Amino acid sequence: MATARPGIITSLEMCGIVKRFPGVLANDGVDFDVRAGEVHALLGENGAGKSTLMKILYGLYQPDAGEILLNGRPLNIASPAQAIRLGIGMIHQHFMLIPPLTVAENVIIGLPSSRRIFVDTDRAARRISELADAYGLQVDPRAFVWQLAVGEQQRVEIIKALYRGADLLILDEPTAVLTPQEVDELFATLRQMKQNGHALIFITHKLHEVMAISDRVTVLRDGRVVGRVATQDTDEAALARMMVGRDVIRTWEKPAITPGQVLLSVEDLEAQSDKGTPALKRVSLEVREGEIVGIAGVSGNGQRELAEAITGLRPVTGGRVIIADRDVTNCSPAEVLAAGLSFIPEGRMTMGVIKEFSVWENAILETHAQPPLARGMFLDFKRIADHTRRLIGDYEVKTPSQETPVKNLSGGNIQKLILARELSRAPKVLVAAQPTRGVDVGATEYIHRRLIEQRSQGTATLLISEDLDEIMALSDRIAVMYEGQIMGVVRGDEASPEQLGLLMAGVRS
Amino acid sequence: MKLSPSRWRDTVVGILIPIGAVAGALLAGVLILVLAGVNPVKAYGPLLIGPFANLYGIAQTITKATPLLLVGLGICIGFRGGVINIGGEGQIVAGALFTTWVGLQLRSLPGIVLIPLLLLTGFIGGALWGAVPGILKARLNASEILSTIMMNLIAAQGVSFLLRGPMIDPAEIAYGTGFPQSEALTEWAWLPRVIPRTTVHLGAIIALVMAVLVYVFLWRTTIGYRVRAVGYSKDASRYAGINVARYAVLAMLLSGGLAGLAGAVEVMGIHHRLLDGVSAGYGFTGIVAGLFGKLHPIGVIPASFLFGALLVGADKMQRAVGVSPGIVYALQGLVVLFVVSSDLWVRRRSARRVEGGGEELVND
């Protein structure tokens, strides 16, 4: 089995790549190229098309149009196995390692052995050590993966790619899970690889990384290339402008409202992510009666954890959450709901509804045990049917019947049902996370209209969304989250996309 | 509540497919019988007709179906609550044990008090036996599949010991036979026959009543709603304010309780005492009956009848052609295999229909 072969790939070009998914044009005629001995950054927000483009390069998807040229020769990359054979390796954002196995076992997994049916971990260990030395990557081949820190695990992923003869390496948001020190170590490794003649593609949405490590940067927006520059010829502000620049901003007719008292207050909130790293680092904000506060930011910067910490679904390790003068920090979801909060969760199908349940069963998810929908222990079906009919009528939920299992409804209608259910409880505070993600245009517009109506009725709304258009159209104030912190709060009518883009990418003004 | 058109179609398909699968299994069973040197025609006669041929056959079928129905109903609650209860055997035994022991203490109570009391005792015994794995799952996230199976062994061995020691019938000691069975319960504790001159006892009626109660519980009460919600989605339930751990334990409790009731019913209706093997495999076959009945009381009733018929028919077949009893289990296994595969196939096909398009567009 080969080891790293730098220099095999002198150039790789992707020309006019088009990739369509149902309802979405992920790549719209994208050109991209990378040369040996350079780090080329691929920059863009969520949904810009970066991952799709790279998955095409790695053989996971086939483009609908366009071609790929390796060293000038056009070819078709039909599968990751073929990509690997050609010398293309990918370091995924979510590691593909097997924790109970050792480093050496993970590196050689799936590869033919020199000893026929017997695994040859000794030979592998020696090769791994050679590679590690050549690239300055500290790794113990005999360690178990579950024992390794995240940064070390990433090193194993890199060695895995190099061991299989990777010359061109694609790194998908590699620093998302690393500590600052680990990021420095990674960059040192990448510089070494660059020197050794490898070609590196670095996918990110963080501007300071682009400036720190790349030689060239290509900016994608809405599936199209909006700019390609040499890093030394640009700066963060220019990149931010390219990343989020908008031509037209749709605004909603928002009646002028003076916000009332503070209904939701988050003070110095701290919480951990699922991986045990800090997800919220002393986050503070307030939402007032009759106000929509938008949380902008690239997904993965703590927004989900913020929503969960407020609603009692995630333990809070520091700070407080106060709803209408009641301290609800670390209360159960039932108590937080009782305090006057309604929540539209990000995971529509996993947390927002029970997809096997019918429309009426979902309509009463939080209220099933309360009169008038229940009489003592028994469900009052007539009242429930009336309630459900009202909800699906008022909120224009299209469904064949109340008995239809919710999983048969379209995403937009499911979201409207969730909205109906949550808003019908007349909440004081509404937390809406990604309320229109994956929802058709008609339903999106409807949901926006309803959110503004709620605002007029005095609800304090916290709107968390990756869709900057949505945030800018609806919010009275916009707070930008980056790496678990609020980078800044701007007034909705004064915010510019460039300003927000900078904040979203980690640059404090 | 009315059924929508799509649900009607699913229901009809849901009935036809298992019937087809059973037919397929019996067809495959022909091969086994031939290999065993048996004439399939001579064997299938008693197997398929025997249980329904006359009142006697039907009565036997009902008698065997009764504990299957009770265990199957427990499985409905358990599985729908998200707990995979394989502990039916142990819970039946625990229920039988409690019932017998309490029954032997309260010899002088009249039947009208004693019978409901002993049935409740059996339920409690099974419920406790099910609660232990339930609590282990809720507190320690211990696999209930493993813990319920282990509890089966504990119950079986425990009762085995008791029947040879503290609980052995004094009469056995007096006569020196040492057969491992308990003293007989007083006649006050016996479930009366409902069809004269047959073995069909009150337990059959009780089981049908429980089927109605289980339906009402799961689909018409707030508690049942929560059990089902937790079974489908722990996350959404948690968000809705439902205490997921509590309802998982409740599901195990009720599931075990119904199996315990089956044990009580077997003791009070058939054996009138505690014996080794009182569970007779009903704890496992009941699971199959529950799944076969699509985890709904309306389905479990015919399903338990079917498996009761299979047990009776296999017995008759064995007597008619002299095959080893193992053939019964082989046929039963084939039925399970065919039904489960057909179910999987149907699900795969409908899943492909619903999720036609791309879920890929969520990422970049």
Are residues B342 and B21 in contact, defined by beta-carbon separation less than 8 angstroms? yes
Question: Backbone phi, then psi, for B127, in 5-degree steps?
Answer: -65, -45
Q: Distance between CA atoms of B317 and B46, rounded to whole angstroms?
A: 5
Please tell me which residue of chain B has the smallest CA distance to A366: B240
Q: Which of A485, A2, A40, A439 is nearest to A269 (CA)?
A: A485
| B162 belongs to a structural domain | yes
Contact state of B4 with A400 under an 8 Å Cβ cutoff: yes
What separation in angstroms does the CA of A288 have from each of A53, A297, A301, A305, B205?
Answer: 42, 21, 24, 21, 62
Please tell me which residue of chain B has the smallest CA distance to A19: B361
Question: Higher model confidence: residue B162 or residue B364?
Answer: B162
Q: Is the pLDDT of residue B291 over 70?
A: yes
Q: Is the pLDDT of residue A385 over 60?
A: yes
- Give residue-wise pLDDT tens across range A321-343: 999 989 999 998 889 998 999 99
Does residue A50 belong to the interface with chain B, where contact is any CB pair within 8 Å? yes
Contact state of B357 with A22 under an 8 Å Cβ cutoff: yes
Does residue A386 belong to the interface with chain B, where contact is any CB pair within 8 Å? no
Token pair recorded at residue A298: 């690239």
Option in A50, A334, A337 nearest B364 (CB): A50
- Position B1 scores a pLDDT of 46
| B363 belongs to a structural domain | no
Nearest chain B Cα distance for residue A458, angstroms: 24
Option in B6, B222, B232 nearest A354 (CB): B232
Token pair recorded at residue A178: 């690393």
| B53 belongs to a structural domain | no
Structural domain boundaries, residue B281: 67-299
Token pair recorded at residue A461: 């709304």
- Give residue-wise pLDDT tens across range A12-69: 999 999 998 876 788 999 999 999 999 999 998 767 788 889 999 999 999 999 999 9
Domains in chain A (CATH in brackets) are 11-244 (3.40.50.300), 257-340+427-509 (3.40.50.300), 348-426 (no CATH)
In this structure, of A65-79, A374-388, B43-57, B82-96, the range with the lowest mean pLDDT score is B43-57
Q: What is the mean pLDDT of chain B?
A: 87
Contact state of B232 with A356 under an 8 Å Cβ cutoff: yes
How confident is the model over B164-178, as a mean pLDDT? 84
Quickly list DSSP for B64-85.
HHHHHHHHHHHHHHHHHTT---
Contact state of A377 with B232 under an 8 Å Cβ cutoff: no
Contact state of B225 with A379 under an 8 Å Cβ cutoff: yes
| B55 belongs to a structural domain | no
Are residues A16 and A65 in contact, defined by beta-carbon separation less than 8 angstroms? yes
| B342 belongs to a structural domain | no
Contacts of B223 in chain A (CB under 8 A): 377
Nearest chain A Cα distance for residue B359, angstroms: 9
What is the pTM (predicted TM-score) of this model? 0.77
How confident is the model over B57-66, as a mean pLDDT? 92
Q: Indicate the Cα dihedral angle A76, A80, A85, A86, nearest 10°.
A: 40
Q: Which of B355, B301, B333, B284 is nearest to B65 (CA)?
A: B301
- Position B357 scores a pLDDT of 34
How confident is the model over B126-144, as a mean pLDDT? 95
| B189 belongs to a structural domain | yes
Nearest chain B Cα distance for residue A154, angstroms: 21
Pairing of strands A378-379, A262-272: unpaired
| B233 belongs to a structural domain | yes
- Give residue-wise pLDDT tens across range A81-90: 899 889 999 9
Nearest chain B Cα distance for residue A378, angstroms: 4
Contact state of A403 with B364 under an 8 Å Cβ cutoff: no
Q: Distance between CA atoms of B88 and A29, rounded to whole angstroms?
A: 62
The helix/strand/coil state of A359 is helix
Pairing of strands A485-491, A341-344: unpaired
ω into A372 cis (within 30 of 0)? yes
What value of ipTM does the predicted structure carry?
A: 0.82
| B259 belongs to a structural domain | yes
- Give residue-wise pLDDT tens across range B18-41: 788 888 888 888 888 888 787 888
Q: What percent of chain B has pLDDT over 70?
A: 93
Please tell me which residue of chain A has the smallest CA distance to B362: A438
Q: Which of B319, B255, B320, B323 is nearest to B290 (CA)?
A: B255
Token pair recorded at residue A44: 């863009």
Total structural domains in chain B? Answer: 1
Contact state of B236 with A353 under an 8 Å Cβ cutoff: yes
Q: Distance between CA atoms of A210 and A202, rounded to whole angstroms?
A: 8
Please tell me which residue of chain B has the smallest CA distance to A348: B236
Are residues B290 and B340 in contact, defined by beta-carbon separation less than 8 angstroms? no
Q: Distance between CA atoms of A214 and A497, rounded to whole angstroms?
A: 24
Token pair recorded at residue B149: 């199976």
